[in-house]
């Protein structure tokens, strides 16, 4: 990619770190930013661990991992990130938060900078509308974990230019990813299909049709899924699952997308899955144990 050399990444959760890993390994200079300095430092430690796992599995040589890590730096302000060739927002799945980031970022952008959101469900057109460059704005939805999963959804907003689309698609391919085009409708393709299935699994638990273990076992062995839907929900984060269901419910006005009350209750309790230590499984012991 001759036009993209520096990639700014805003948000240092699991997705931000994963995207940074993929970009750095593919030869791009990466600038990470988060408003919380502690999260930023934790992200660098997570990145080191991610690269070490690739070396241990012989997917990278020690020299390649060292070179990739050297390409990653941190920015202390939106101003420093704003000079990147492409900026990928990977913050929490909250439209207000994402819009505030893009509004704050806009005054610091170079004329040629492209913007992308890693949102898994929110309208690209709406996010682009708060910037000064909706034609240079696109959705770039990496799957989790980004260093492992091969797919990237590419979502054009109503104003996204053909040039932006072609540049971003070529960029994704340069990361050794396969792209799929999705229209700018709630949750796009993957989560439009996947998350309602997870929500239905939670309803199945809520209604007493099966236990946590029986539901996950049934889908792993009966549908050949690598991970049961409740285990997958914990991996994604129950707050993320709920946010996507709310986007679907509000955006499509169809009762089939109503979030399960049990999902809402778990999120209210702060039981968000792996990242909080408890969700449909309790992860605080030696092995995960169902919580229902």
Given the residues 50, 84, 117, 120, select the one marked as catalytic: 120
Given the residues 50, 191, 199, 231, select the one marked as catalytic: 191
Kindly state the helix (H) or strand (E) to which residue 162 belongs, with its residue range: helix 162-174
Catalytic annotation present for 255: no
Distance CA 277, CA 175 (A): 32
Chain centroid, CA 292 distance in Å: 28
Alpha helices, DSSP H, located in 187-237: 190-206, 212-222, 229-236
Catalytic annotation present for 141: yes
Given the residues 21, 50, 123, 141, select the one marked as catalytic: 141
Catalytic annotation present for 200: no
Given the residues 89, 153, 199, 231, select the one marked as catalytic: 153
β-bridge partners, 32: 9, 74
* Geometric angle at alpha carbon 12, from 6 and 13, rounded to 5°: 135
β-strands 137-142, 151-156 pairing = antiparallel
Catalytic annotation present for 191: yes
- 138-143 LR contacts (CB < 8 Å, sep 24+): 138/114, 138/164, 138/165, 138/168, 139/182, 139/184, 139/188, 140/88, 140/116, 140/168, 140/172, 141/182, 141/188, 141/190, 142/15, 142/18, 142/19, 142/22, 142/118, 142/177, 143/190
Catalytic residues, by residue number, are: 120, 141, 153, 191
């Amino acid at each position: 990619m001759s036009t993209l050399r520096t990639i700014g990444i805003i948000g240092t959760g699991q997705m931000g770190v994963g995207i940074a890993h993929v970009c750095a390994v593919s030869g791009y200079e990466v600038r990470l930013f988060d408003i919380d300095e502690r999260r930023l430092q934790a992200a660098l430690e997570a990145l080191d661990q991610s690269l070490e796992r690739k070396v241990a599995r012989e997917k990278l040589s020690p020299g390649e991992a060292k070179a990739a890590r050297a390409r990653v730096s941190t920015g202390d302000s939106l101003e420093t990130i704003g000079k990147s060739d492409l900026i990928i927002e990977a913050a929490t799945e909250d439209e207000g938060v994402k819009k505030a980031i893009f509004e704050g970022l806009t005054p610091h952008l170079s004329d040629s900078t492209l913007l992308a959101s890693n949102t898994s469900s929110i309208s690209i057109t709406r996010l682009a509308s708060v910037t000064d460059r909706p034609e240079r704005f696109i959705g770039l939805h990496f799957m989790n974990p980004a260093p492992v999963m091969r797919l990237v959804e590419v979502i054009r907003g109503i104003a996204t230019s053909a040039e932006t689309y072609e540049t971003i698609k070529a960029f994704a391919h340069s990361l050794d990813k396969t792209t799929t085009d999705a229209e700018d409708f709630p949750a796009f393709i993957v989560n439009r299909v996947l998350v309602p299935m997870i929500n239905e699994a939670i309803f199945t638990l809520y209604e007493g049709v099966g236990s946590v273990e029986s539901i996950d076992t049934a889908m792993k062995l009966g549908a050949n899924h690598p991970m049961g839907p409740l285990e997958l929900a914990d991996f994604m984060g129950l707050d993320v699952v709920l946010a996507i269901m709310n986007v679907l419910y509000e955006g499509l006005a169809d009762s089939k997308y109503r979030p399960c009350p049990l999902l809402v209750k778990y999120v209210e309790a702060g039981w968000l899955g792996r990242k909080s230590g408890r969700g449909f499984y309790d992860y605080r012991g030696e092995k995960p144990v169902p919580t229902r």
